[in-house]
Amino acid sequence: MNKVRIKKGDKVVVLLGRDKGKSGEVKHVNPTESRVIVQGVNVQTKHRKASQSGPGGIEKIEASIHISNVAFADPKTGKPTRIGYKIVGDRKVRVAKRSGEQLE
Protein backbone atom coordinates (compact mmCIF):
# COMPACT_ATOMS: atom_id res chain seq x y z
CA MET A 1 0.00 0.00 0.00
CA ASN A 2 1.27 3.46 -0.89
CA LYS A 3 1.96 6.15 1.69
CA VAL A 4 -0.65 8.89 1.29
CA ARG A 5 -0.19 12.23 3.02
CA ILE A 6 -3.35 13.82 1.63
CA LYS A 7 -6.52 13.07 3.57
CA LYS A 8 -10.25 13.55 3.09
CA GLY A 9 -11.24 17.18 3.74
CA ASP A 10 -7.86 18.69 2.79
CA LYS A 11 -7.66 21.66 0.44
CA VAL A 12 -5.52 20.77 -2.59
CA VAL A 13 -4.28 22.45 -5.79
CA VAL A 14 -4.19 20.62 -9.14
CA LEU A 15 -0.68 20.71 -10.64
CA LEU A 16 -1.17 19.04 -14.05
CA GLY A 17 -3.88 18.37 -16.60
CA ARG A 18 -6.94 20.12 -17.94
CA ASP A 19 -7.85 21.57 -14.52
CA LYS A 20 -4.34 22.86 -13.70
CA GLY A 21 -4.46 25.66 -11.13
CA LYS A 22 -7.90 24.79 -9.78
CA SER A 23 -8.28 24.06 -6.10
CA GLY A 24 -10.86 22.17 -4.12
CA GLU A 25 -11.56 19.93 -1.17
CA VAL A 26 -10.73 16.22 -1.24
CA LYS A 27 -13.94 14.16 -1.14
CA HIS A 28 -12.44 10.66 -1.33
CA VAL A 29 -8.98 9.08 -1.17
CA ASN A 30 -8.18 5.66 -2.65
CA PRO A 31 -4.69 4.76 -1.33
CA THR A 32 -4.48 1.38 -3.09
CA GLU A 33 -4.81 3.00 -6.52
CA SER A 34 -3.16 6.33 -5.48
CA ARG A 35 -6.16 8.36 -6.65
CA VAL A 36 -8.26 11.17 -5.14
CA ILE A 37 -11.60 12.76 -5.95
CA VAL A 38 -11.54 16.55 -5.62
CA GLN A 39 -14.70 18.64 -5.48
CA GLY A 40 -15.23 20.64 -8.69
CA VAL A 41 -12.21 19.16 -10.48
CA ASN A 42 -12.18 16.71 -13.42
CA VAL A 43 -15.96 17.02 -13.87
CA GLN A 44 -17.38 14.66 -16.47
CA THR A 45 -20.90 14.20 -17.83
CA LYS A 46 -22.63 10.83 -17.62
CA HIS A 47 -25.78 9.97 -19.55
CA ARG A 48 -28.03 7.85 -17.34
CA LYS A 49 -30.82 5.68 -18.68
CA ALA A 50 -34.14 5.87 -16.80
CA SER A 51 -34.89 2.95 -14.50
CA GLN A 52 -37.27 2.06 -11.69
CA SER A 53 -34.86 3.49 -9.13
CA GLY A 54 -34.81 6.97 -10.71
CA PRO A 55 -35.22 9.14 -13.78
CA GLY A 56 -32.64 9.32 -16.52
CA GLY A 57 -30.80 12.39 -17.65
CA ILE A 58 -27.38 13.96 -17.80
CA GLU A 59 -25.40 13.97 -14.56
CA LYS A 60 -22.17 15.76 -13.80
CA ILE A 61 -19.77 13.77 -11.63
CA GLU A 62 -16.20 14.29 -10.45
CA ALA A 63 -13.82 11.61 -11.69
CA SER A 64 -10.70 10.63 -9.76
CA ILE A 65 -7.26 12.00 -10.58
CA HIS A 66 -3.86 10.61 -9.68
CA ILE A 67 -2.51 11.75 -6.34
CA SER A 68 0.78 12.89 -7.93
CA ASN A 69 -1.16 15.55 -9.87
CA VAL A 70 -2.37 17.34 -6.74
CA ALA A 71 -0.51 19.12 -3.94
CA PHE A 72 -1.67 20.29 -0.55
CA ALA A 73 -2.65 23.99 -0.53
CA ASP A 74 -0.68 26.06 2.00
CA PRO A 75 -3.07 27.47 4.65
CA LYS A 76 -1.36 30.91 4.55
CA THR A 77 -0.90 31.53 0.82
CA GLY A 78 -2.97 28.87 -0.94
CA LYS A 79 0.06 27.87 -3.04
CA PRO A 80 1.08 24.21 -3.43
CA THR A 81 3.25 22.81 -0.66
CA ARG A 82 4.65 19.53 0.55
CA ILE A 83 3.64 18.00 3.86
CA GLY A 84 6.03 17.11 6.66
CA TYR A 85 5.57 15.76 10.15
CA LYS A 86 6.64 17.15 13.50
CA ILE A 87 6.19 15.84 17.04
CA VAL A 88 4.46 18.37 19.30
CA GLY A 89 4.23 17.16 22.87
CA ASP A 90 3.18 13.54 22.57
CA ARG A 91 1.39 13.95 19.21
CA LYS A 92 2.64 13.66 15.63
CA VAL A 93 1.19 16.54 13.56
CA ARG A 94 1.30 17.43 9.87
CA VAL A 95 3.19 20.60 8.91
CA ALA A 96 3.20 22.61 5.66
CA LYS A 97 6.80 22.75 4.38
CA ARG A 98 6.36 26.12 2.60
CA SER A 99 5.17 28.18 5.59
CA GLY A 100 5.85 25.89 8.56
CA GLU A 101 2.16 26.20 9.48
CA GLN A 102 0.70 23.37 11.54
CA LEU A 103 -2.21 21.62 9.80
CA GLU A 104 -5.52 20.63 11.44
pLDDT single digits (tens) 7-62: 999 999 999 999 999 999 999 999 999 999 999 999 999 999 999 998 999 999 99
Residue 86 pLDDT exceeds 90 = yes
CATH number belonging to domain 11-74:
2.30.30.30
- Give residue limits of the domains in the chain: 11-74
pLDDT at 1: 59
Report the greatest alpha carbon distance in the chain: 56
Residue 88 pLDDT exceeds 80 = yes
pLDDT at 81: 94
Burial annotation 61-85 (CB, 10 A radius, 16+ → b, else e): ebebbebebbbbbbeeeeebbebee
